[in-house]
């Protein structure tokens, strides 16, 4: 039942690519050109599991390649670039065949590929290969980067079919009612995602069962809760339940060959206002090809004559669809000899995503050109004054970067101190880029990586720095070693810590203030928000990055310049009303959450309670609730002696959950039950369940028993057995007593905290339980085996196959009880594990965009117009980069303040001790003329002018080191105080800037 190793490896990617991913292992892709962009394309395809990737390059690796080609080592210099890259790529994924080719790209050779990608190719070769691929139905992609700009072109042929154009699960809604009529009207929970003409199917409908499994029918949207469908007048009356789901219809697109698209380009962009800029870049790239053909070289960095020649060639190309932006062309040409790893990462990732679209037929392909640039970097203060001498090659691995930013900037990069928080997918890509950039590669530089996690199999399809041999090793340690292999000069230090409240002694204010910047690669909103708050407090530059599926964003936070980051609201945690989970589930999400709760209630909490009982001699004296004592008693009473006992326990659980409890529910509320005359109980949100009958030949029944028995055995340290045939034989012999429903039981119908009927405590039974527990404890304490914790609590782990086996079977059996469509193993894993879909292409692109912002931070740019917030969606090839919002200001105390402003006071008196509260009040009066009426530190009131005189005197005399009850605040070197001044409304929205008092 569990997923294969391939599913475990690619699970996060499968949630992005869907069923089309099954085509990847059978595909063959040619990547021509193994400089930075080609290396990024090839790496993404190998990590994603493309069946065969062939590398083509006729040139040898040189020192300057190491600015952006992260697959090359020092020993690879002088070797064929493709051959030198082959070994590193093959190590990334043993399931992918990586080959090389250094000969001509002949038609016979090209014919064996489904996709051909050209990078760094002459225009003549692009046209020749493009024409052949178009004629043969081979998807053709051109990806090229020059300096701070890149271009992408796609030709998937004249009739390319997209099987699944959209991202995410199919649109669906829970049915509440269906009328009998012509047309029938479906009332459901939310129709905003449906459109007129959509085809839908129905499942799990009770009563009007004729709809279940029917061919897709078109809908007409009536309003926010009703859909009109075909004739239902002859169908059975609707009773309850059901799901209406939109059927994804294939779409077609038609592409022109490069020879035509070159002259009349169709350019995709986020904003129509960007069209003139993209057209100018289109002309600039064409002119650059002409310059290279004429001069056999690229324009020299910052050489005005060469840039002017490129501009003249662009002018000569003929009529433009828009006026040529000559400044764009000149800026592009002046740094076109440069090679930047971040730019290669962005364009290479976009190109790789288009390859995956061509293979999987998932998502709309690019139509047909896309241009990307970060030419705003040339507006950095002083950048315009760089000369040809400043940017000339030095025989260094960083020559490609020096060509853009100059040698002095390269020296500045070497001295940076940066913290990377998180060494997952984005973290790996950031670190790879930092290594290529030479960040912290000087003797006083430092790159700190911190991550608490260890490498897992499911990381390997998107986390570049890890290999199969690294599984279970600390991510930060493995990542640091990988960075040093890429660039031995980088001073990298791994930490295994979370950056959070618990580690503020280690990551103090002084620590943050001594950093040049922080790169956030965290995967939770809470962690990202905490880090943003710390950087805001300490005035530390921050670049925040995040992804979900094919979407990603990058947000730079620059002290005193940009608006602090505002994180999205914390997503809902997937909780549902208990009455819904226990008795009235309507969707597979409900049954999966119920299964998660059962996992904890069966395999974690009981073991923890028993261990506490065994380890704490006073457990029984602590007035434990009777329910807890009964649970401990049950757990000890059910202790298995062997594997057979575990199987019998699991079989009894199956009977209880999927038969007995349902029979009891239907005894209380029979199918014909009415809440009031004429109003059926089982209607609307309540689906009438039916009990299941156990069958050892039913795979789902057997899956449940096998997984539950395995976990129960693990809890009790009993050796498990995975022999399905033996378990089937055991189960055939199990005979359970018939179930008789109890009378008088009540089941809550809402989440209202109704007054629970007080069931009188059975003191005699409780006394017997206590006696049994005392006796069992005495017996077990004397047992040598009981010296260790008696039971092993199991915490749910989304990447543990047995855990997902149990969740999937438990959920699907409950779904069968209630007529809900089951979920696959993979879908169950995603929903129950709350897994965020992820893919290497998105993380690589986001990290590249983040590193472009790091360039600006290292430059210490204070021009807001140079920075960019970036949003990408690779499923639609959308790339949006906008200027961040400026730091907001407010007026207080007769002057204007920025949200970044802080008051700073030396919190140490002449005696070397922390100052008193009165000294703080005096300082504010003396320095700013403010009479403070209330002083606060967090939730603690340090001073209140309205307090009694004696209390005020005590408050004023206290030292800052004594006043806070929050020990964590005292771990900071600076205590942050807030205040309210005379004449100020305590409820006013604008308060004064916080006061930071430096403690001894």
In whole angstroms, what is the distance from residue 185 CA to residue 353 CA?
A: 41
User: Is the peptide bond preceding residue 273 cis, with omega within 30 degrees of 0?
Assistant: no
Active-site residue list: 579
In whole angstroms, what is the distance from residue 102 CA to residue 99 CA?
A: 10
Whether 448 and 421 have beta carbons less than 8 Å apart is answered as: no
Residues in a beta bridge with 28:
52
> How many helices and strands, by DSSP H and E, does the chain display?
32, 33
What phi and psi values does residue 57 have, to the nearest 5 degrees? -165, 135
Long-range contacts of range 57-64, CB-CB < 8 Å, 24 or more positions apart?
Answer: 57/32, 57/33, 57/81, 57/82, 57/85, 57/102, 58/102, 63/395, 63/396, 63/397, 63/399, 64/339, 64/393, 64/396, 64/397, 64/399, 64/400
In whole angstroms, what is the distance from residue 453 CA to residue 423 CA?
A: 8
* Residue in 275, 211, 271, 202 with CA at minimum distance from that of residue 237: 211
* Residue in 267, 258, 289, 288 with CA at minimum distance from that of residue 371: 267
* Residue in 861, 151, 999, 238 with CA at minimum distance from that of residue 562: 861
Roughly how many angstroms between the first and final C-alpha of the chain, as a whole number? 61
In whole angstroms, what is the distance from residue 554 CA to residue 978 CA?
A: 32
- Residue in the block written with tokens 């409890």: 661
Write the DSSP symbol of residue 834.
T
What phi and psi values does residue 940 have, to the nearest 5 degrees? -85, 130
Whether 984 and 935 have beta carbons less than 8 Å apart is answered as: no
Whether 217 and 228 have beta carbons less than 8 Å apart is answered as: no
Whether 368 and 261 have beta carbons less than 8 Å apart is answered as: yes
* Residue in 613, 569, 583 with CA at minimum distance from that of residue 750: 583
**Strand, coil or helix: 979:** strand
Q: What tokens appear for 684 in the block?
A: 């609307």
In whole angstroms, what is the distance from residue 454 CA to residue 496 CA?
A: 9
Whether 32 and 38 have beta carbons less than 8 Å apart is answered as: yes
How far CA 935 is from CA of 428, 669, 877, 978, 992, in Å, comes to 45, 60, 52, 6, 12
Q: What is the maximum alpha-carbon separation in the chain?
A: 101
The 3-state secondary structure of 93-121, one letter per residue: CCCCEEEEECCCCCHHHHCCCCEEEEECC
| CA within 13 Å, CB half, 298 | 20
| CA within 13 Å, CB half, 847 | 34
**Sequence-separated (6 or more) residues with CB below 8 Å from residue 868:** 374, 376, 554, 556, 849, 852, 853, 881, 882, 883, 884
């Amino acid at each position: 039942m569990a997923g294969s190793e391939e599913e475990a490896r690619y699970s996060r990617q499968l949630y992005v690519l869907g069923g089309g991913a099954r085509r990847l292992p059978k595909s063959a892709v040619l990547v021509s050109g193994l400089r930075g962009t080609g290396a990024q394309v090839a790496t993404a395809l190998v990590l994603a599991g493309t069946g065969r990737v062939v590398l083509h390059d006729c040139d040898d690796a040189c020192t300057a390649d190491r600015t952006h080609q992260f697959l090359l080592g020092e020993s690879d210099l002088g070797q064929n670039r493709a051959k030198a890259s082959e070994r590193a790529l093959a190590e990334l994924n043993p399931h992918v065949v990586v080959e090389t080719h250094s000969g001509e790209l002949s038609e016979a050779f090209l014919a064996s590929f489904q996709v051909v990608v050209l990078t760094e190719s002459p225009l003549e070769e692009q046209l020749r290969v493009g024409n052949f691929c178009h004629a043969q139905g081979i998807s053709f992609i051109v990806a090229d980067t020059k300096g701070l700009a890149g271009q992408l072109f796609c030709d998937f042929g004249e009739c390319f079919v997209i099987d699944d154009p959209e991202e995410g699960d199919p649109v669906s809604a829970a049915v509440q009612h269906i009328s009998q009529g012509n047309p029938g009207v479906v009332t459901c929970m939310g129709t905003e995602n449906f459109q007129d003409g959509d085809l839908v199917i129905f499942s799990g409908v009770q009563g009007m069962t004729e709809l279940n499994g029917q061919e897709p029918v078109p809908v007409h949207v009536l309003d926010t809760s009703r859909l009109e469908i075909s004739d239902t007048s002859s169908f059975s009356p609707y009773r309850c339940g059901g799901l209406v789901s939109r059927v994804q219809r294939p779409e077609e697109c038609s592409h022109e060959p490069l020879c035509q698209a070159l002259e009349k380009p169709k350019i995709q962009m986020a904003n129509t206002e960007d069209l003139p800029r993209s057209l100018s870049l289109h002309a600039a790239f064409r002119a650059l090809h002409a310059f290279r053909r004429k001069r056999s070289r690229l324009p020299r960095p910052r050489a005005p004559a060469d840039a002017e020649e490129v501009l003249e060639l662009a002018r000569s190309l003929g009529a433009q669809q828009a006026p040529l932006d000559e400044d764009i062309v000149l800026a592009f040409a002046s740094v076109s000899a440069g090679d930047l790893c971040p730019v290669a990462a962005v364009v290479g990732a976009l190109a790789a995503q288009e390859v995956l679209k061509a293979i999987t037929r998932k998502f709309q392909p690019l139509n047909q050109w896309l241009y990307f640039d970060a030419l705003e970097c040339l507006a950095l203060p002083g950048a315009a004054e760089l000369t040809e001498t400043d940017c000339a090659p030095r025989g260094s691995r960083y020559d490609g970067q020096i060509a853009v930013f100059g040698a002095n900037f390269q020296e500045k990069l070497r001295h940076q101190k940066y913290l990377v928080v998180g060494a997952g997918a984005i973290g790996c890509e950031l670190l790879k880029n930092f290594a290529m950039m030479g960040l912290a590669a000087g003797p006083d530089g430092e790159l700190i990586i911190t991550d608490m996690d260890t490498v897992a199999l499911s990381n390997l399809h998107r986390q570049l720095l890890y290999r199969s041999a690294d599984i279970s090793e600390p991510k930060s340690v493995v990542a640091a070693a990988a960075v040093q292999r890429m660039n031995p000069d980088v001073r990298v230090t791994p930490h295994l810590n979370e950056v959070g409240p618990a580690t503020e002694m280690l990551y103090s204010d002084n620590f943050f203030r001594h950093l040049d910047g922080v790169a956030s690669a965290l995967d939770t909103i809470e962690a990202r928000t905490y880090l943003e708050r710390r950087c805001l407090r300490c005035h530390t530059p921050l670049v925040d990055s995040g992804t979900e599926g094919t979407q990603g964003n990058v947000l730079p936070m620059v002290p005193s310049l940009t608006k602090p980051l505002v994180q999205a609201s914390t997503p809902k945690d997937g909780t549902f009303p208990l009455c819904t989970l226990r008795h009235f589930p309507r969707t597979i999400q409900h049954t999966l959450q119920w299964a998660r709760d059962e996992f904890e209630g069966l395999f974690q909490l009981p073991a923890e309670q028993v261990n506490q009982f065994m380890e704490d001699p006073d457990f029984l004296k602590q007035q434990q609730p009777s329910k807890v004592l009964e649970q401990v008693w049950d757990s000890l009473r059910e202790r298995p002696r062997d594997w057979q006992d575990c199987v019998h326990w699991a079989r009894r659980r199956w009977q209880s959950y999927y038969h007995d409890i349902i029979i009891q529910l239907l005894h209380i509320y029979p199918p014909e039950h009415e809440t009031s005359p004429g109003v059926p109980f089982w209607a609307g949100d309540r689906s009438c369940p039916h009990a299941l009958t156990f069958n050892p030949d039913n795979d789902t029944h057997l899956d449940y028993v096998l997984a539950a028995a395995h976990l129960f055995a693990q809890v009790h340290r009993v050796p498990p057995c995975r022999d399905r045939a033996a378990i089937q034989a055991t189960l055939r012999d199990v005979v359970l007593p018939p179930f008789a429903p109890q009378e008088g039981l009540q089941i809550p119908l809402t989440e209202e905290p109704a007054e629970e009927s007080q069931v009188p405590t059975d003191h005699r039974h409780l006394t017997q339980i206590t006696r049994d527990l005392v006796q069992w404890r005495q017996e077990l304490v004397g047992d040598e085996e009981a010296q260790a914790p008696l039971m092993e609590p199991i915490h749910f782990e989304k990447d543990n196959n047995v855990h997902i086996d149990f969740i999937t079977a438990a959920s699907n059996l409950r779904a069968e009880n209630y007529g809900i469509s089951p979920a696959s193993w993979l879908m169950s894993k995603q929903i129950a594990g709350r897994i965020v879909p992820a893919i290497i292409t998105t993380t690589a692109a986001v990290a590249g965009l983040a590193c472009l912002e790091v360039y600006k931070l290292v430059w210490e740019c204070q021009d807001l117009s140079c920075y960019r917030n970036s949003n990408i969606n690779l499923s639609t090839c959308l790339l949006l980069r906008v200027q961040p919002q400026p730091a907001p200001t407010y007026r207080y105390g007769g002057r204007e303040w920025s949200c970044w402003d802080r008051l700073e006071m030396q919190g140490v008196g002449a005696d070397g001790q922390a100052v008193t509260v009165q000294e703080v009040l005096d300082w504010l009066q003396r320095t700013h003329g403010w009479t403070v009426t209330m002083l606060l530190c967090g939730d603690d009131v340090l001073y209140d002018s309205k307090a009694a005189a004696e209390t005020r005197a005590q408050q004023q005399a206290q030292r800052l080191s004594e006043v806070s009850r929050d020990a964590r605040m005292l771990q900071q070197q600076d205590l942050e105080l807030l205040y309210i001044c005379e004449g100020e409304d305590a409820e006013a929205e604008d308060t004064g800037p916080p006061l930071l008092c430096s403690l001894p």
